[in-house]
Structure 1
Amino acid sequence: MSAQLSPVRSPARRGSNPVRILPEIQGLRAVAVALVVLFHLWPNRLPGGFVGVDVFFVISGFLITAHLLREVERTGRVRIVQFWGRRIRRLLPASLFVLAAIGVTTYLLGPLSAWPTIYRHIAASSVYIENWALAADSVDYWAQAVAAPPTQHYWSLSVEEQFYFVWPVVFSAVAFAVRAARGRFLGLARIVLGAIVLASFAYSVWYSATNPSVAYFSTLTRAWEFGLGGMLALVGLTRVRLGPVPRAVIGWTGIALIALSALVIRSSDPFPGAIALLPVLGTVVVIFAGTTGARGSFDAAASWRPVQFLGDVSYSVYLWHWPLIVMLPWVLGPLSTVAKLAIILASVVLAYVTKLFIEDPTRNATWLTARRAVPTFITAAVASALLVGASAVAPTVGQQMVASRLAEANAFAVTSCAGATAVVDPSCAANAAPVPAADIVFGDADPDIEKCFSQDSNGELIRCSFGDPAAPAGRVALVGDSHAGALAPAMMRLAAERGWALDVFLKPGCPWSQTTRFRPDNNVTAIENCSSWRDAASAALADPSRPYDFVVTTSYAIVGNMVVADGQATPYDASVAGLRASWGDFVARTGAPVLVVRDNPNWDRSPVDCLMATKDPGQCTESEAQAFSNPDPQIAAAAHTPGVGLIDLTEVYCPQGTCAADLGGITAYRDAHHLSRSFALSLAPVLGQRIDTALAALPPAPTKGSSG
């Protein structure tokens, strides 16, 4: 695919050798990869180090645009297929090699419950759509709770490859449009790229403010960063005549802007929005300053051999550092400072070896360049297909192993001396090792319940029904957020044993409360959908055609306090008022009681991570005061709302005042604050007794329609 064009003079040319390696570019690459690596290892010390990715984007936009202009100047056309072939030979071999290493390491050492996620992301990364896979995960509540996969950093490579795919097509279209008019190419290309930059930047500012989780990974919100680099190549670097000293000052100013952005930008900021201009313009300024040759300039400092070496291997350093950060704890546990320093060294060594034996040989292999780019495309397609295929098969094997072990744990949970029942019965002997094992407990969730959640992206009310639909013992509802969902296996077991008809209404991060949620990510859509879902849930619960004998609810204490104060003294007060409003309205309209389960412990450190690191349940404990340090507004709301009873299971979670990861031989949590399905199943007899006690203790319900 190509388009003919009369040769024009490229403004991107610097000097007589347009393909020489520029010291400032290599220096920027070294700065960018250093920022990213240091951020991933010490995020609190360098909170904005992730802007190194944006530096890479600007560099890519500049270099690729300059390259395409040189090709137009030399040949009068844009040879798209050949361009893609060169990009594949340059980037794909090392990328696929690292992905293969991640896949093998995961198979040998990775936690079984993480296999489906990791291999799914390996497949996405191998075809360069990892950014969209992560964007999808960012709106999936349960995917958000999964530890970051060792391929997460491939999101930026995916964005870059998508740019490499589209940008030469844009060049070709411009070339085709002006094929009969010499000298008009640059003018039209500037207009087209300028329009892309403005449109992408405007979209980035808007989308980063309204849906920041997805915006961060979107190619559309990042296109302007490549575009500004490309615009610099199109406008030309030789038009402004400045001496070496002024350009040296400009160069260091750009570096200062990049350094400032790494220090002041936070991961909680809407990014990439307007704030991304700081590192992007800083990079543009450094490239604009160019090779000054002045003593003390950035390009002079960047000419130092270690800096040039790091810039030369920066791509492979980027590929290797993150998998090491994620996978080394599988063996060593939490990373010490020494381990982190070792990761830096190992990343550089592996990068050098990869460049020496993978990158350079394949990029220069004559058999790949024969017959244009056909061998390149065939080899890339076969290699990617093999990775995708292996990534599809491996999780199936892992899922079978996990399913078998989880089934054994669930079966143990319903015995008479397991989990919660063992905690309340001192005569029960403890299981030797808690089940499910820490490496699979994250997967210990009820698949039927996971289908019942209304996600952030919509406000739809989903009703899931369990137990006996004829409701011989009455109709019961469970409503709330993911913590209510974690209790669902206990309620489902009770419904089956007692003959209840059980309806479940669930939305992650959304309590049954008449408050407006506050979210640190300012996801306006999710906030509005929470309100819509809550209103729909309240209407369904009070529907006279489907009356409930009582409703059970609970919510995450931290989320319960993340609300808009709305005239109240504190968000906590607003949360109490909002909960009372929802519960009191239901009781007044239906006459049925509401039973509120106090929230379970919220661990400072995930007990699952502790179990995986130490293998000793005795070391994975937390004091009751620490685990319940966040005040639960449900307690005060229940105490002051007629027709509402409180169920407090603290002594089950924290016997003798110590909260434990291993309760009655069952791993009680699947992350820092969600109960495992196995433990929830074991909790059913205890919860059933508490429900009976709470119902008996409530005074007669107020007459329907009265205020409460």
Structure 2
Amino acid sequence: MTGLAAPAASVDGPTRSTSGGGFRADIEGLRAVAIGLVLLYHADVPFLPGGYVGVDMFFVVSGYLITGLLVREVERTGRVSLARFYARRAKRLLPASALVLVVSALLMWATASVVQWRAFGHDIVAAALYVVNWRMADRSVDYLAEGTGASPVQHFWSLAVEEQFYLVWPLVLVLVALVARRYGLRVRPLMGVGLALIVVPSFVWALSTSGSPSGFFVTTTRLWELGVGALVAVAGAVALPRAVARMTGIVGLTLVVGSAVLLDHTTPWPGAWTLLPVLGTAAVIFAGTSHERGAPRVLQLPAVVWIGGLSYSLYLWHWPLLVAAENVAGELSVIERLVVVAVSVVPAWLSLRFVENPVRFSGRLAGSNPVTLGLGAGLTAVGVIAGLLLAAAVPNAPTGSAAAGAAALVSKGGAITPPQAVAQGAVTPSAALATDDVPAPYRDGCEVAMDEVELELCVYGDPQGSKTMVLAGDSKALQWFTPLESIARENGWRLVLATKSACGFAGAVRPGADGAPYTLCGTYNEALLAELLEVRPDAVITSQVHDTAYDATGELTEDAMTEGLTSYWSQLEESGTDVIALLDNPQPHDVPVGGSEVYMCVAEFPDQLDRCAFSSPERATSGGSGAQVAAAAEVEDADVVDMNDLVCNEDVCPAVIGGVLVYRQGSHLTDSYVRSMTPVLEERLLPFVENR
């Protein structure tokens, strides 16, 4: 979990008690605490490493307020007007969010690299449609998305979770109202049962996926937090002595603030620890509901209440401004981030004053649900169009379809000439489209995602081929698919793809994206090894990026990875399956733009490609190659194929060779460049296969 959390501010009119009472200053104060924690967390202040709990506070507050409105409507009329409910949401949410989405698109067009426009544009579309949390969940387990950068609208994920909840919850209440009216039952107990059917499974699911990258974003792990707030609303006011109510409120606020101070990014989230801010927030709300002076007084101070009223606008504006500032100035200090956060108060107040409130309190809209819903649809379309325009702004730069790539390095006599950059002319693919230049199995859905373990074996080449070759490993193995598939078809081989994201094929455990042991990789590899030992293919071709794994003491060492590779390779060789290791290619480093993202540098300096080259490491031991070479030395008959002399010379690794961009995201080679190496790969691979 990184700085992705942002509050899903409750946005449904004046803050009132569930009993139908007046303005709840204490809940506005809770909103202020929640937005304050998130803003300080995003400013990277060191004393609030758990400031992300602000999002959980907002979920509880929102569940309480919206359910309170619905409960009162059911009790008053015996029904729920879905049109009025969604119209109310639309006129409160969409004017400001549409404005922010348009501004975010303009900011990214002006400040972000062109290579990010397409991804960010699609993020804006997903945010406008309130599904961006699922897009973020997919990206969190997408190994190839690591270089995408912080999205200007990733903070919309929590608002998307909230709106997805409110697509379902009012429908449940309609059913509750019908059952209550038909059988003469009390509404609130029935609502409690309905909520329990949502809260309990969601909490169990959150516990089961706690700490997984995608579990942070998905709706199923967050419904219970909204449900807890809803349960407080359904329970209604319970008369408590003032002293008891005040103590309840103080304990609740202490739990919230304490969790922000004591928890950090290593805490599995959402999970058991999430109970602290959730129950703490619920306790503060309950205290204020049960006694008019039960909530902590600090929450009712005028300045705190004012900030709470501005929380939704602050939530919308602060993050895209932070992203734009870092695009312009690079990594910001804590003080600089605090300044940007403080500046975000200005557009937040202006949008509240001149956009949100005029629409929210419009008399015409209040009297016509169809007009309001129509306006909402139009504003949603505005956000979608803004995102599509940003994505479409990526220039369709001319590409050299006849670019030679690695073929430019091969002389007529067959010798390899040292790689040299081409400093002018069209580049294939264009840097702006580099992230799309991937092998076909990504589009075919044939790579197993990081959070999945089921074997996904896809057959390519000649399905009835005389030999069966298996390509196994992580995305660094998959990058060789295109030439291997071509070689397999040419030679009448059956090529079986068995790759899993970020999971090298070895009997060893390495860290996952969250820093914890990547146990799902081990589970997958055990199943794959068993399958291979049973079917006994002619050869397994493998590669990987990681060169270390956990040893018996819990330390990450190359020896542990070497032992893991040796174990699997030995078993395969003993079963009659040959192992061919394709050495990992060098890892980019010290690239002046994007750090390790060569394609971003090429987009920035298309006429100075030498600036985007990086010094060549020891090619035989770069990335995962060191462990591969060591394992091959231990396993008799294991073979090694090294293609890195077509990627780097002894001194430098160029960004472009023979008119073809060499690297896409991270250390992955573009499919175009790998394809250009097909003849050399076939020449080096065939002797090992034909000698079987």
The structure 2 residue matched to 1:282, chosen from 277, 280, 286, is 280
SS of the counterpart of 1:536? helix
Contact 1:516–1:531 under 8 Å retained in 2: no
Q: How many residues align?
A: 661
State the partner residue of 1:86. Answer: 88
Determine whether 1:413 maps to 2:405: yes
Counterparts of 2:143 and 2:505, CA distance in 1: 17
Map 1:170-569; keep pairs closer than 5 Å.
Answer: 170-179=172-181, 184-208=186-210, 212-243=212-243, 247-290=245-288, 298-300=296-298, 302-305=300-303, 307-337=304-334, 339-371=336-368, 373-385=369-381, 387-388=383-384, 391=387, 395=391, 397=392, 401-402=395-396, 405=398, 407-408=399-400, 411-414=403-406, 416=408, 425=417, 430-432=422-424, 435=427, 438-447=431-440, 451=444, 452-456=446-450, 457=452, 459-466=454-461, 478-489=471-482, 491=484, 501=493, 503=495, 505=497, 506-515=499-508, 519=512, 520=515, 527-537=522-532, 542-543=536-537, 547=538, 552-558=541-547, 561-562=548-549, 565=551
Give the alignment's TM-score, normalised by structure 1. 0.79
524-533 or 375-384: which moved more?
524-533
Determine whether 1:611 maps to 2:597: no
Counterparts of 1:92 and 1:57, CA distance in 2: 18
The Cα of 1:23 is off from its aligned counterpart by 2.8
SS of the counterpart of 1:48? coil
Counterparts of 1:144 and 1:113, CA distance in 2: 14
Change in Cα spacing, 1:478 to 1:61, as seen in structure 2 (3 Å) is: closer
The structure 2 residue matched to 1:669, chosen from 623, 646, 663, is 663
Aligned partner of 1:584: which letter?
S
Change in Cα spacing, 1:263 to 1:687, as seen in structure 2 (3 Å) is: farther
Counterparts of 1:46 and 1:654, CA distance in 2: 45
Counterparts of 2:224 and 2:389, CA distance in 1: 38
Counterparts of 2:516 and 2:73, CA distance in 1: 44
State the partner residue of 1:122. Answer: 124
> Once the two structures are superposed, what CA deviation does each residue of 1:371-421 show, in whole Å capped at 9, x if it has no partner?
3x11111222233245446656764x457x45x54x428825255159xx9
The Cα of 1:89 is off from its aligned counterpart by 1.1
Change in Cα spacing, 1:155 to 1:428, as seen in structure 2 (3 Å) is: closer
- Where does the alignment leave 5 or more consecutive residues of structure 2 unmatched? 1-15
Determine whether 1:636 maps to 2:633: no
Contact 2:463–2:495 under 8 Å retained in 1: no
SS of the counterpart of 2:31? helix
> Once the two structures are superposed, what CA deviation does each residue of 1:485-538 show, in whole Å capped at 9, x if it has no partner?
223455567779x86857362332222224466644677666534433444356
The Cα of 1:274 is off from its aligned counterpart by 1.4
Contact 2:566–2:635 under 8 Å retained in 1: yes
Contact 1:268–1:521 under 8 Å retained in 2: no
The Cα of 1:640 is off from its aligned counterpart by 1.0
Counterparts of 1:46 and 1:408, CA distance in 2: 51
State the partner residue of 1:59. Answer: 61
SS of the counterpart of 1:513? coil
State the partner residue of 1:42. Answer: 44
Contact 2:400–2:659 under 8 Å retained in 1: no
Contact 2:504–2:546 under 8 Å retained in 1: no
Counterparts of 2:349 and 2:331, CA distance in 1: 27
> Once the two structures are superposed, what CA deviation does each residue of 1:96-132 show, in whole Å capped at 9, x if it has no partner?
2222333444556654544443333333322322223
Contact 1:293–1:299 under 8 Å retained in 2: no
State the partner residue of 2:561. Answer: 575
The Cα of 1:58 is off from its aligned counterpart by 0.4
Contact 2:449–2:501 under 8 Å retained in 1: yes
Give the alignment's TM-score, normalised by structure 2. 0.80
Change in Cα spacing, 1:450 to 1:584, as seen in structure 2 (3 Å) is: farther
> Once the two structures are superposed, what CA deviation does each residue of 1:406-461 show, in whole Å capped at 9, x if it has no partner?
x428825255159xx9x974595652599456544323323466534233435334
373-382 or 323-332: which moved more?
323-332
Change in Cα spacing, 1:409 to 1:32, as seen in structure 2 (3 Å) is: farther
Sequence identity percentage? 31
Counterparts of 1:77 and 1:598, CA distance in 2: 64
Determine whether 1:101 maps to 2:93: no
Change in Cα spacing, 1:577 to 1:121, as seen in structure 2 (3 Å) is: same
Counterparts of 1:648 and 1:204, CA distance in 2: 45
State the partner residue of 1:6. Answer: none
Counterparts of 1:298 and 1:360, CA distance in 2: 29
Counterparts of 1:256 and 1:32, CA distance in 2: 13
> Once the two structures are superposed, what CA deviation does each residue of 1:306-359 show, in whole Å capped at 9, x if it has no partner?
x33322121122122222333444444444556523431342222112111221
Contact 1:517–1:530 under 8 Å retained in 2: no
Contact 1:446–1:489 under 8 Å retained in 2: yes
Counterparts of 1:583 and 1:290, CA distance in 2: 65
Counterparts of 2:169 and 2:69, CA distance in 1: 12
SS of the counterpart of 2:495? strand
Counterparts of 1:343 and 1:686, CA distance in 2: 53
Counterparts of 1:581 and 1:23, CA distance in 2: 65
SS of the counterpart of 2:226? helix
Contact 1:467–1:500 under 8 Å retained in 2: yes
Contact 1:12–1:66 under 8 Å retained in 2: yes
State the partner residue of 2:10. Answer: none
Counterparts of 2:421 and 2:549, CA distance in 1: 41
Contact 1:417–1:429 under 8 Å retained in 2: no
Contact 2:503–2:521 under 8 Å retained in 1: no
Counterparts of 1:352 and 1:41, CA distance in 2: 20
Change in Cα spacing, 1:255 to 1:262, as seen in structure 2 (3 Å) is: same
Aligned partner of 2:671: which letter?
R
> Once the two structures are superposed, what CA deviation does each residue of 1:449-487 show, in whole Å capped at 9, x if it has no partner?
65342334353343453599989xx98654321011223
Counterparts of 2:256 and 2:189, CA distance in 1: 30
167-176 or 435-444: which moved more?
435-444
The structure 2 residue matched to 1:18, chosen from 16, 21, 29, is 21
RMSD: 4.4
Aligned partner of 1:600: which letter?
P
The Cα of 1:169 is off from its aligned counterpart by 2.9
Aligned partner of 2:297: which letter?
D
The Cα of 1:254 is off from its aligned counterpart by 2.5
109-118 or 49-58: which moved more?
109-118
Counterparts of 1:278 and 1:622, CA distance in 2: 49
Change in Cα spacing, 1:78 to 1:102, as seen in structure 2 (3 Å) is: same
Counterparts of 2:21 and 2:137, CA distance in 1: 38
Determine whether 1:169 maps to 2:171: yes
Change in Cα spacing, 1:86 to 1:381, as seen in structure 2 (3 Å) is: same
Contact 1:333–1:614 under 8 Å retained in 2: no
Aligned partner of 1:636: which letter?
A
669-678 or 565-574: which moved more?
565-574
The Cα of 1:54 is off from its aligned counterpart by 0.7
Counterparts of 2:230 and 2:312, CA distance in 1: 20
